[in-house]
Structures are given as structure tokens and as C-alpha cells.
């Protein structure tokens, strides 16, 4: 802690003596980046079909120190997870059938050893690796895969809403066992995203099946399932398939993982990976503390906010003990979302359901000011639900429009709003327009964006109250419907808009702007239809035309007002080796090959 305090004192002094300039982002491990890594191969040893990879040989041992925001995970049950922290930690313990090639984004086998696509894409045959085991020594087989899909996903036990993404014209795919290591996935129509979806990690049937069978109703089964492997579970109870296993959780402070000594990935000398003995996540409350800990050497990898780039680059040149890397625009989105529910006792509901009001708010927000003052120029304004690097981005509307308060005022007049003698905005019942925007307290960037929006809307006579909340509390409020506006973000992807179907389909678990049972708005119906139809084509141009239209609808209707897209800048300690950052894979995509010098 003393070291962090010294760094903090230095930063306070140093940051006052430098301006925020746009520094070039250095290359990182250029020799490794320029080296084509050989394609993994299957190697069979003692009846086990290992995945052999060909990164430079490393040294065994050591600890990787990382961080997560907020108050920590809500669960260690990956299939019950609804938050990013729980999912991140869960993915460390549970592997999927497939993964993404970090250089191309192509779907490649992982727990699976191969796949075959038949019948114009309506049938996919997946072959599992033979001999691979759960951490308790039980074999991973087709039974686990079939059980996961039929009894966890299709039955609705899983917590993230993944089930709704699997409905194709109201029908679920058929998943059945061919033999112990072969699974057949069948859809009744072409479903373009399905190969990526079947990457979904299998759950251990021998653990979950008795749990589910012990319940007497579907409701009880769901409750028991979602509560299983909670944060108070003894780590020895976990049965995992990933490179690391939970060893200790100190609530609100640390999450510690240890290496699985029988993981199925080998290096070129047939030694079992990962190299690292431990991975430890520290729970941090804000981005500044995270950066301080990184500069003090207590964290090995950190995301650098735009406002910190100038400082970090100067320290990189001065200390020479870490490097920065520019991974390009974020694949996620940041937005202000309105609560459009009509079944809640909020006077703001009628304002938010007025499209002129939503459009007026969007035109009033100075996104360039957000980029310049909050991101220090390291980003771009965002106007679409597809992130800027998405291959499906609608480039015709991606540029958006500049702030224009006169347009906002005209829109408000069309929406039957007016101003009193004090310049305060009133609705058609002479009620002053005032509402509260929530955001997560751990995210200083979002709070800063909130301050700019608060000031921008004040110019229209709108009073905005900002209220930061602990992230888990915020999510609870959003689920309950007890909120007016929220500044938040979604992680996204580069290749598949259907990954966001949970947000846009009427049945979606994350249809945040109106989760009530309601008569769908015309534009909701059209978006729902688009997401249903776009999956039935494998041709890119046909899908692109449909996804362009969905972006146009959101651009016009604005249930979410998109704000900014930051550049992803990461800093990594020089004590780590085999780090090979890529645009699609990020910094730690090859975690099993990373080692400490």
C-alpha cells in the first residue's frame, strides 16, 4: 500500500506539469507480432487428444495480477451469470467448444477437435477431443454438451438470456448425441450465427443433473440453479474445464485462481500448459486506483483511459518497465438509455415515450466535447448500436450530427413542450422536466459523461440529477424498472450483430428500455422481425442490408442515445512474456502461453 501511495503522490505532482496531448502508441513485442504462429495441431498421448500450440517456449511458475471493477462477482456459475465480472471469471474456469482466431476472428476448434457443416448449414457435426477431463477427473463427453443445451439452455435455466438467442422461428435447434465424442446440431432453417453460438461452454452433467432432478418444479429448479456455485461456495466444490480453478475469494478484495495441472493444451515440448501457477484479480473501485496499482507494479495489465494517455506515455518513456499498445476502437458501446416502461409510477415515462423528446436530447449532447474532454481525444462520437469496428456498421449514418440546440428546441416544440419565464422546460401539463440518470460509481468516465450531459440539457431548461451507484445495485435497479435514465455500456463483437439480439428482440433478456409486458411499438416489431430474418441468410450483403435498416431505426427512434467509442489502449508490464496483442483477441487471448520472466 505504501508503494501505491508514493505513486499517487508522484502522479498528482506529475500530472499537473503535463498537458494532455495525443502521443503515438508504441508497437508491442514487434518481433512476436510479426511472427506467424503455427496452426495448433492435435497430438494424441495416452489416449488424450491434446491441443498443441506453438508459441515460444516459456518458464513455468509465477502469478499474473489483474483487476476487476466494482464489488466483485455475483456468482461463479458461468451459466447463471448476468454481469461482465462474473462472466470474465467464469470463462477462466470453463472452456467453450470453439474459440476465435485472434488474428482473423475465424471460428476455430477448442474443446472440440473438428466440425463439419452439412445441408447448407442446417446441420453441424462436432467432434470432441477424446480423453479430455473435468478437473475432478471425469471425462468431458457428448453427454455434457447435450445436457447443457437441452436441460440448461433450452429449458430456460441459464441466467443470461442466451436461450432467446437460440430460438429460430419459435423453435429450438435439435442437439443430440451420436456417440461419446460426437454431437449433432440441427436447425430447421439456415441460421447463420449458429456456429459461433455452439461455442457455448458445456457444463458438467454429473454435477448439475442431480441438482436439477432434486427439485420439484421448474420454478424451484431455476432458483436452485441460479444460486448454485455462488460466491460463498467452497472452491474445492468447483468442477472446471478451463486452465485455472478458483482457490480463494475474499469478498470485495481478491479472487485467486490456481493452475489446472491436467489442462488439455501442450507446448511444443509436450509440456502441459498454462505456464503461470496463479492468476489473482484485485477488486478496484475506480479507474484511477487501477492505474496507480499498475504503475506501482501491483497489476500487470491495465486499460488506459484517454485522459491518462499523456501521463502514461511519459512514464513509459521515463521508467521503461512497461509498454502500451493501441488495439483500435472498442467493440463495445456506451449509451444513455431511457426507461420507456408505461407500467411504472414515473412522470418521466410520458416524456421518454415522446420520440421528439428523445431526439431533442440526442441533438443537445456534445459528443465531441465528451471525446475531447473525457477521452482526451482518444475516441470518436458514436451514433449507432453497432460499434465502429463492426463489419456490419452502417457507415451512412455512423458520422451522426454535431450538437445543435436549435434543432433540439424545435423538436421539443413539436413534442408539445414549452418554457416558463425562468427558462425551465415544461410539458403540456406544466410539469417541470426533471429526471435522474444513474451510472456505476466505479466508472469515472461514465460519471464525467454524465456531468457533460447534465450541463448540455441544462441549456434546454431540463434539470438532470446524477446518481452513481455500486454496479451490482445499479443492475438490480435496472431489472426492477425503478429508474429513469442510465449511462452504461455493452460489450460487443466485430462479426455478429445477432450477439446483441438479447437487447433488441421483444423476448430478449436485455430489452432494457422496456422489460414490461406491453403492446410492442411498430419500430420494436420491425427490429424484432429484422433479427429473426437476418439469421436466415449466409450471404453477407443480404444480412448487411437488414442490419443497416435496424441501425437506421435505432438512429431515428433512440431508445438508447449512443455517445462515444473509445480507443482501446492497454499497458502491460515488461515482466510478462509471450504477450501478442491483436485487434480481435486483445492482450490475454493466449493466456496459457503467457509467462513471467
Same-domain status, 258 and 389: no
pLDDT at 9: 41
DSSP-assigned beta bridge partners for residue 434: 463
Q: How far apart are the first and last CA of the chain?
A: 24
Same-domain status, 367 and 502: yes
Distance between CA atoms of 583 and 103, rounded to whole angstroms? Answer: 7
Q: What are phi and psi of 120, to 5 degrees?
A: 60, 25
SS3 64: strand
In this prediction, residues 83-96 reach a mean pLDDT of 95
143 belongs to a structural domain: yes
pLDDT at 7 over 70: no
User: DSSP letter at 189?
Assistant: S
SS3 147: helix
In this prediction, residues 244-250 reach a mean pLDDT of 97
pLDDT at 328: 86
Per the CB < 8 A criterion, the answer to whether 375 and 382 are in contact is: no
Taking only the tens place, the pLDDT of each residue in 505-550 is: 998 878 989 988 899 999 999 999 999 899 988 888 999 999 999 9
% of the chain beyond a pLDDT of 70? 94
Q: How would residue 471 be classed by pLDDT, with cut points 50, 70 and 90?
A: confident
Same-domain status, 452 and 324: no
pLDDT at 492: 80
Distance between CA atoms of 204 and 209, rounded to whole angstroms? Answer: 8
Q: At 368, which CATH number?
A: 3.10.105.10
pLDDT at 22: 43
Q: What is the 3-state secondary structure (H, E, C) of 451-508?
A: HHHHHHHHCCCCEEEEEEECHHHHHHHHHHCCCCEEEEEECCCCCCHHHHHHHHCCCC
Q: At 255, which CATH number?
A: 3.40.190
% of the chain beyond a pLDDT of 90? 73
Average pLDDT over the chain reads 91
Q: Which residue pairs, CB below 8 angstroms and at least 24 apart, start in 534-537?
A: 534/192, 534/497, 534/498, 535/168, 535/190, 535/191, 535/192, 535/193, 535/498, 536/189, 536/190, 536/191, 536/192, 537/190, 537/192
**Final residue belonging to a domain, choices 163, 186, 211:** 211
Taking only the tens place, the pLDDT of each residue in 176-204 is: 999 999 999 999 999 988 889 999 999 99
pLDDT at 5: 45
Count Cβ atoms below 10 Å from residue 597 Cβ, excluding itself.
11
Is the bond preceding residue 226 a cis peptide, omega within 30 degrees?
A: no
Per the CB < 8 A criterion, the answer to whether 157 and 151 are in contact is: yes
Distance between CA atoms of 201 and 115, rounded to whole angstroms? Answer: 16
DSSP letters, 71-101, are T--S-S-GGG--SHHHHHHHHHH---SEEE-
Cell of 341: 416502461
pLDDT at 588: 96
Count Cβ atoms below 10 Å from residue 18 Cβ, excluding itself.
11
Same-domain status, 362 and 486: yes
Same-domain status, 187 and 204: yes
217 belongs to a structural domain: no
Identify which of 261, 247, 138 has the alpha carbon closest to the alpha carbon of residue 203. Answer: 138
Domain hosting residue 398, numbered range: 333-566
Which residues make Cβ contacts (< 8 Å) with residue 199, sequence separation at least 6? 96, 97, 98, 99, 107, 110
DSSP-assigned beta bridge partners for residue 280: 65, 256
Same-domain status, 440 and 479: yes
pLDDT at 21: 37
479 belongs to a structural domain: yes
**Final residue belonging to a domain, choices 190, 211, 232:** 211
Taking only the tens place, the pLDDT of each residue in 372-409 is: 999 989 899 999 999 998 999 999 999 999 999 999 99
Per the CB < 8 A criterion, the answer to whether 364 and 405 are in contact is: yes
Same-domain status, 186 and 269: no
pLDDT at 170: 83
Same-domain status, 286 and 269: yes
Same-domain status, 405 and 527: yes
Identify which of 392, 385, 398, 589 has the alpha carbon closest to the alpha carbon of residue 495. Answer: 392
pLDDT at 14 over 50: no
47 belongs to a structural domain: yes
Task: Give the predicted TM-score (pTM) of the model.
Answer: 0.79
Distance between CA atoms of 515 and 524, rounded to whole angstroms? Answer: 12
388 belongs to a structural domain: yes
236 belongs to a structural domain: no
DSSP letters, 190-222, are --TTHHHHTT-PPP-HHHHHHHHHT-SSHHHHH
Phi-psi region of 252 (alpha: psi -120 to 50; beta: other; left: phi over 0): left
Please state the separation of Cα 293 from the chain's center in Å: 23
Q: How would residue 283 be classed by pLDDT, with cut points 50, 70 and 90?
A: very high
Place of cell 476448434: 109
More confident residue, 466 or 27: 466
Q: Where do the DSSP E strands lie in 56-191? A: 63-69, 98-100, 107-109, 112-118, 123-128, 174-179, 182-186
SS3 52: strand
In this prediction, residues 358-385 reach a mean pLDDT of 95
Q: How would residue 23 be classed by pLDDT, with cut points 50, 70 and 90?
A: very low
Same-domain status, 159 and 176: yes
Per the CB < 8 A criterion, the answer to whether 238 and 245 are in contact is: yes
Distance between CA atoms of 368 and 221, rounded to whole angstroms? Answer: 49
Same-domain status, 294 and 435: no
83 belongs to a structural domain: no
> Domains in the chain: how many in total?
3
Per the CB < 8 A criterion, the answer to whether 560 and 336 are in contact is: yes
Same-domain status, 457 and 343: yes
Q: How would residue 35 be classed by pLDDT, with cut points 50, 70 and 90?
A: low
537 belongs to a structural domain: yes
Which residues make Cβ contacts (< 8 Å) with residue 151, sequence separation at least 6? 157, 208, 209, 212
Q: At 158, which CATH number?
A: 3.90.76.10
Amino acid at each position: 500500500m505504501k508503494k501505491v501511495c508514493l505513486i499517487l503522490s508522484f502522479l498528482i505532482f506529475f500530472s499537473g506539469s503535463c498537458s494532455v496531448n495525443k502521443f503515438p502508441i508504441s508497437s508491442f513485442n514487434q518481433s512476436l507480432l510479426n511472427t506467424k504462429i503455427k496452426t495448433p495441431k492435435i497430438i494424441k498421448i495416452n489416449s488424450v487428444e491434446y491441443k498443441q500450440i506453438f508459441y515460444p517456449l516459456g518458464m513455468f511458475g509465477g502469478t499474473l495480477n489483474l483487476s476487476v471493477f466494482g464489488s466483485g462477482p455475483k456468482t461463479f456459475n458461468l451459466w447463471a451469470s448476468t454481469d461482465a465480472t462474473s462472466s470474465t471469471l467464469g470463462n477462466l474456469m470453463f472452456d467453450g467448444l470453439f474459440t476465435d482466431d485472434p488474428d482473423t476472428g475465424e471460428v476455430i476448434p477448442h474443446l472440440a477437435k473438428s466440425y463439419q457443416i452439412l445441408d447448407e448449414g442446417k446441420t453441424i457435426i462436432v467432434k470432441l477431443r477424446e480423453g479430455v477431463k473435468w478437473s475432478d477427473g471425469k471425462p468431458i463427453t457428448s453427454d455434457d454438451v447435450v445436457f447443457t443445451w437441452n436441460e440448461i439452455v433450452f429449458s430456460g435455466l441459464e441466467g443470461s438470456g442466451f436461450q432467446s438467442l437460440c430460438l429460430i422461428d419459435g423453435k429450438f435447434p435439435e442437439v443430440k448425441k451420436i456417440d461419446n465424442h460426437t454431437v449433432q446440431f440441427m436447425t430447421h432453417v439456415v441460421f447463420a450465427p449458429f456456429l459461433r453460438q455452439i461455442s457455448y461452454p458445456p457444463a458438467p452433467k454429473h454435477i448439475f443433473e442431480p441438482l436439477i432432478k432434486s427439485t420439484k418444479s421448474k420454478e424451484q429448479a431455476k432458483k436452485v440453479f441460479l444460486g448454485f456455485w455462488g460466491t460463498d461456495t467452497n472452491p474445492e466444490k468447483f468442477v472446471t474445464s478451463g486452465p485455472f480453478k478458483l482457490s480463494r475469494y475474499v469478498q470485495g478484495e481478491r479472487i485467486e485462481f490456481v493452475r489446472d495441472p491436467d489442462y488439455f493444451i501442450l507446448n511444443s515440448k509436450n509440456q502441459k500448459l498454462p505456464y503461470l501457477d496463479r492468476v489473482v484479480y484485485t477488486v478496484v473501485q475506480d479507474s484511477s486506483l487501477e492505474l496507480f496499482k499498475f504503475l506501482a507494479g501491483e497489476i500487470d495489465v491495465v486499460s488506459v483511459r484517454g485522459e491518462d494517455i499523456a501521463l502514461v506515455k511519459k512514464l513509459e518513456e521515463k521508467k521503461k518497465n512497461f509498454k502500451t499498445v493501441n488495439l483500435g476502437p472498442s467493440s463495445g458501446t456506451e449509451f444513455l438509455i431511457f426507461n420507456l416502461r408505461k407500467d411504472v409510477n414515473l412522470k418521466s415515462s410520458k416524456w421518454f415515450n415522446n420520440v421528439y423528446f428523445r431526439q431533442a436530447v440526442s441533438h443537445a449532447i456534445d459528443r465531441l466535447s465528451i471525446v475531447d474532454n473525457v477521452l482526451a481525444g482518444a475516441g470518436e462520437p458514436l451514433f449507432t448500436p453497432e460499434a465502429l469496428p463492426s463489419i456490419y456498421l452502417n457507415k451512412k449514418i455512423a458520422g451522426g450530427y454535431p450538437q445543435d440546440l436549435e434543432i433540439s428546441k424545435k423538436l421539443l416544440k413539436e413534442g408539445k413542450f414549452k418554457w416558463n419565464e425562468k427558462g425551465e422546460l415544461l410539458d403540456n401539463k406544466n410539469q417541470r422536466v426533471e429526471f435522474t440518470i444513474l451510472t456505476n460509481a466505479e466508472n469515472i468516465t461514465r460519471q464525467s459523461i454524465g456531468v457533460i450531459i447534465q450541463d448540455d440539457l441544462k441549456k434546454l431548461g431540463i434539470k438532470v440529477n446524477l446518481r452513481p451507484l455500486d454496479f451490482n445495485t445499479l443492475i438490480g435497479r435496472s431489472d426492477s424498472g425503478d429508474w429513469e435514465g442510465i449511462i452504461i455500456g455493452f460489450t460487443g463483437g466485430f462479426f455478429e450483430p445477432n450477439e446483441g439480439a438479447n437487447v433488441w428482440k421483444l423476448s430478449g433478456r436485455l430489452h432494457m428500455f422496456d422489460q414490461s409486458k406491453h403492446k410492442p411499438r411498430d419500430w420494436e416489431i420491425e427490429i424484432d422481425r429484422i433479427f429473426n430474418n437476418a439469421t436466415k441468410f449466409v450471404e453477407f450483403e443480404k444480412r448487411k442490408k437488414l442490419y443497416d435498416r435496424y441501425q437506421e431505426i435505432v438512429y431515428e427512434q433512440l431508445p438508447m442515445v449512443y455517445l462515444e467509442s473509445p480507443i482501446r489502449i492497454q499497458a502491460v508490464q515488461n515482466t510478462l512474456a509471450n504477450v501478442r496483442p491483436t485487434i480481435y483477441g486483445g492482450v490475454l487471448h493466449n493466456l496459457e502461453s503467457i509467462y513471467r520472466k
